[in-house]
Chain A
Amino acid sequence: MKGMTVIVKKTTQLIAGMVFLYGMYVIVHGHLTPGGGFAGGVIMAGSFILLILAFGSDFMHLTKEESGTTMYENLATLVVIFLAASGLLLGTRIFFLNWFPKGTLGQLVSAGMLPLYNVFVGIEVASSILTIFLALVIFKEEISE
């Protein structure tokens, strides 16, 4: 895949970091404002997709990146399941027990374990969307070789 023109490349250089940060903001503030793990994860994946589309896969030398992203995705899913099951270690028999201290309503660190779920589901969604896109790009390069 070839890259695009200089204008697109420069604008992408300016914007991609902002898009990534905005995705992180949506994930971290998921328990306060609209948004959350799913929306923020897709925004974070969008910043990488923007970079790949603007600069082209020739420039990025994409060869085996999809194995790395799929590892992050599986690890994040494992952490989510472990967090959900962690209530069982305390002796209760409730799956998805919110056993962290709740904190005050409206603070950034509050709501117990919900921010942690948001963060790890966000990582999982971002890396899985990116894995699908990278698989479409990389496997097509392998065919055309």
Chain B
Amino acid sequence: MEIAISIITVLMIIGALYAIHARDLLSAVIACGIVGYGLVICFLLLKAPDLAIVQIVVETITLIIMVAVVLDSSREEKFSKPDGQGYISIITSILLIVVLFYFFKLSVETLDAFGSGSLRMAAPYIEGATDKTGSANLVTGVVFDFRGYDTMGEATVLVTAVLGVLTILRIKGKK
């Protein structure tokens, strides 16, 4: 399973890199789709069907909206050569990658093997959830019962996003 996930992750990275450098914006959007659907397969391999369902539906709808936007505006990307500030950001990002990779290598050595062992907090959730919530689906039990605040926060974030969209995108004032 590790090999399959590694291959899919490499494909996702290639898709993301292609999406940055593609001249045609429609193919860039479709390359973004590689990242999303690859993530779906990763979730399915890691036995997380709840996340996979949400990811596949949200990915499809955002892809549809982005394709509609690209078809409606221009398909050409305006490309400009990097100036002085561009070189500074390139150097900064390479430095960041090196530092992050170093700490990633340090932290990987202290972790358990992939897929084995769980966090200390997870054990009470997994053992007592079915009796405490009465829900056969453990994820729903955790999301709406133990972590109800988080779910309410997510719902409120969505409401705020819609309010922002309605406020910013409106050109004409309301009569």
Contacts and interface: CB of A to CB of B under 8 A. Distances in A.
B95 interface: no
Secondary structure at chain A's binding surface: helix, strand, loop or mixed? helix
B57 A42 contact: yes
A108 B154 CA distance: 26
A44 to B, nearest CB: 10
Given A98-B145, A111-B141, A135 B169 contact: yes
Nearest to A124: B155
Contacts of A31: 135-137, 140-141
Interface string B144-160: 11001101101110110
Contacts of B54: 38-39, 42
B162 A131 contact: yes
B65 interface: yes
B73 to A, nearest CB: 11
A143 B171 contact: yes
Given A46-B57, A53-B64, A112-B133, A117 B171 contact: no
Given A39-B53, A42-B61, 5 more contacts: A36-B143, A38-B154, A39-B50, A102-B133, A110-B134
12 contacts: A31-B141, A34-B49, A34-B50, A39-B50, A46-B57, A73-B162, A111-B133, A111-B134, A117-B151, A128-B162, A132-B161, A132-B165
